[in-house]
Homo-oligomer: A and B are copies of this chain.
Amino acid sequence: MFIGELSRQTGMSTRGLRYYEQQGLLHPLRRSSGYREFNESDVDRVRRIRVLLAAGLNTDLIREVLPCMTGDGAILAPTCEEMAQDLVRERERMSRSIEELKAAHAMLEAIIRAGEPLVARSDC
């Protein structure tokens, strides 16, 4: 499929997909015309990329971990010790992020609850 079709199936802009290729996260074939040709497995691949990006990983690390995640859902071991250490660091950073998010979530929750009994207010 061409880039527009992949964009439709993933919800990612074509600009974003080209950026992913530039960062080494996607490796489409090329037609003689220069058109990129993606395959079905790239849909899942893009989804995985977005999950990891949303979690705060940068493209450098994503490029390293993607080969550990085959298209059929299998998981492979890290390909080198340095990468394994990076992964552990990122996992810890994520754990901290989750705790911070929960703390902030609790703050908002408390304020929202304090306001809910007063949905019908006269001020404001």
Q: Name the interface residues of A34-76: CB closer than 8 Å to any CB of B.
A: 48, 51-52, 54-57, 65, 68-69, 75-76
B105 touches A55 (CB 8 A): yes
Interface residues on A, range: 35 or more
Assess the A80–B124 pair: CB atoms within 8 A: yes
**Residues A7-50 near B (CB distance < 8 A):** 48
CA distance A80 to B95 in the complex (A): 34
Identical copies of this chain, number: 2
Bound state CA distance, A100 and B115, in angstroms? 28
Given known contacts A54-B104, A103-B51, is B84 in contact with A112 (CB within 8 Å)? yes
Known: A51-B103, A88-B112. 10 other contacts (CB 8 A): A51-B104, A54-B97, A55-B103, A69-B111, A77-B114, A90-B108, A91-B108, A94-B108, A97-B101, A101-B101
